[in-house]
Structure 1
Amino acid sequence: MDLSNFIILYVADIERSVEFYKPLLDRDPVEISGEFALFTSHSGMRFGLSKASLHCSELNSEFSAKMELCFEQPNEITLQMNLIKWRELGVTFIEELTKANFKTSFTTLDPDGHKLRIFCY
């Protein structure tokens, strides 16, 4: 089996999440309804947002965001540009810019508590 190129996050409010992700991803969704939104990348990656209340019975629990998405950047300059942009957008930071032996990264939260890690090697 090959790795997937389609990620779906469960979110409480589709419209709020679309408005959060549009400026971060620099694109509009290609599909949107009251229960689902879909973003696509130039490489064919698909990123969906699905209304959590549709899935809570499947999960047999209350909705709780626990996903971490990682966005690799080509270099530290691009990473720094995104850091500035995301700060200007008012994104919640939970880890400031950190340099380790193998990567440089920062971590934020989306409106539903999903972690967003932006990094470069």
Structure 2
Amino acid sequence: MTSPNMFIVYVTEVARTVDFYRQIFAIEPSALPGPGFASFTLDGGTELALWSGHVDALDGQPTRTSEVVLCLPGGPEAIEEQHRAWAALGVTVLEEPHDAAFGRTSVIADPDGNRIRLAPVD
């Protein structure tokens, strides 16, 4: 059986968003084939791609139905610490740290409003 090996996030300016993801995840892109596409190779070989090929999908107030999630070990303290570090960078905070059904969590947004969640490792 095959499994997904790439997730694409629509963005308006790939270079700007590459810089944002570099900063918050401390990773470098693995591919920058042109001005409208970049990808990051994640643990396990899965790719997180940024693509400006569907900029119209970001027009108006698009409904956000997915999130990029960083699951952290270390319990609620790790979530709080990472949230403080991201907030200190001046990111847009959508949800302050709070408890959810799966544990402590918070949500920030990338420059295009795409959601990035902190959550505990299951």
Shorter-chain TM band:
0.7 to 0.9
1:26-61 CA distance string (max 9 Å, x none): 11101112011110123212100011xx335xxxxx
* AA matched with 1:91: V
Q: SS in structure 2 opposite 1:29? A: coil
The runs of at least 4 aligned residues of structure 1 exceeding 4 Å deviation read none
Q: SS in structure 1 opposite 2:69? A: strand
Equivalent pair of 2:79/2:97 in contact (CA under 8 Å): no
For structure 1, the residue ranges without an aligned partner over 5 or more in a row are 57-61
CA separation in 1, counterparts of 2:13 and 2:38? Answer: 11
CA separation in 2, counterparts of 1:87 and 1:26? Answer: 15
The residue number in structure 2 matching 1:3 is 3
Residues 101 and 9 of structure 1, relative CA distance in 2, 3 Å threshold = closer
TM-score by length of 2: 0.82
Among all aligned residue pairs of Structure 1 and Structure 2, give the percentage whose two residues are the same amino acid. 29
CA separation in 1, counterparts of 2:46 and 2:82? Answer: 20
The residue number in structure 2 matching 1:90 is 90
Correspondence 1:29 to 2:23: no
1:48-75 CA distance string (max 9 Å, x none): 0011xx335xxxxx32252322221112
The residue number in structure 2 matching 1:74 is 73
1:62-97 CA distance string (max 9 Å, x none): 322523222211122332331122012111111100
TM-score by length of 1: 0.82
CA separation in 1, counterparts of 2:110 and 2:16? Answer: 10
Calculate the aligned-residue CA RMSD, in Å.
Answer: 1.8
Correspondence 1:63 to 2:57: yes
Alignment of 1:43-58 (within 5 A): 43-51=44-52, 54-55=53-54
The residue number in structure 2 matching 1:15 is 15
Deviation at 1:23, TM superposition (A): 1.4
The residue number in structure 2 matching 1:116 is 116
